[in-house]
Amino acid sequence: MSKVFSLEEAVAALASGEVVALPTDTVYGVGAAINNSSVAKIFALKQRPQDVALPVLVCCVEQALELGVTWNENAQLLSNAFWPGALTIVVSAPHDLAQTIGSTTQSVGLRMPNNEALLSVLKNSPLCVSSANNHGEAPCESAQQVLDVFMDREMFCGVLDGGTCSGEVSTVVDVTGEDWKILRSGAVSEQEIAHALAK
């Protein structure tokens, strides 16, 4: 039965392959372990197109590196400046990882969120996390909204209540090439990114 989880219950459910809604520094997200069956549950739960890649949340740069990604100088400069925070950094990724998260390119978007409860969860393992909503609809900003949307769905296990989350969406910046480009505008401005990358 879907319910509101404690931190320990959320960690246990994620470890067993379930989808759990989690508070972030932006909005609520639905998270799962990075494996094919768990990721498939997120796509099904959100009715999300299979070719729209899921971002991965990490607790630190070291955890990102353990995924085998290419962490170049631009990625390091941006993480130094904006992590933890609302910046998703797209870097080159191994084929298996890219395929698992639904990426049509050899890349992955990584973010270290500025939310204490979520970072405690992520210390156990990185997670695929997408905003808690039906694809194309407004994201949920409270645990109750999450329950209202997902309570009766088979793929949904429960929610970790972190109060109200109503931050601005993360900016997504691609640093896979020599130049960088913004894929989605959000909380971090283009000027702030340019300043952080000025060499």
Q: What CATH number is attached to the domain comprising 30?
A: 3.90.870.10
Tell me how far the alpha carbon of residue 39 is from its chain's centroid: 12
Peptide bond into 126 cis (omega under 30): no
Q: What is the pLDDT of residue 49?
A: 74
Q: What percent of the chain has pLDDT over 90?
A: 85
Print the domain residue range for 179: 3-197
> Would you say how long the chain is, in residues?
199
Predicted confidence band of residue 24 (pLDDT cuts 50, 70, 90): very high
The whole-angstrom separation of Cα 146 and Cα 139 is 9
- Per residue in 35-50, pLDDT (tens digit) is 999 999 999 998 877 7
Predicted confidence band of residue 199 (pLDDT cuts 50, 70, 90): low
The whole-angstrom separation of Cα 112 and Cα 104 is 23
Block residue for tokens 């405690």: 120
- Span of 7-21, 42-56, 180-194 with lowest mean pLDDT: 42-56
Sheet arrangement for strand 171-174: 3-5, 156-160, 19-22, 29-32, 127-131, 56-57, 107-111, 87-92, 171-174, 181-184
- Per residue in 55-90, pLDDT (tens digit) is 999 999 999 999 999 999 999 999 999 999 999 999
- Average pLDDT in the 100-119 region? 96
Within 10 Å of residue 143's Cβ, how many Cβ atoms?
23
- Per residue in 120-149, pLDDT (tens digit) is 999 999 999 999 998 788 899 999 999 999
- Average pLDDT in the 156-179 region? 94
| Mean residue pLDDT across the chain | 94
Tally of domains within the chain? 1
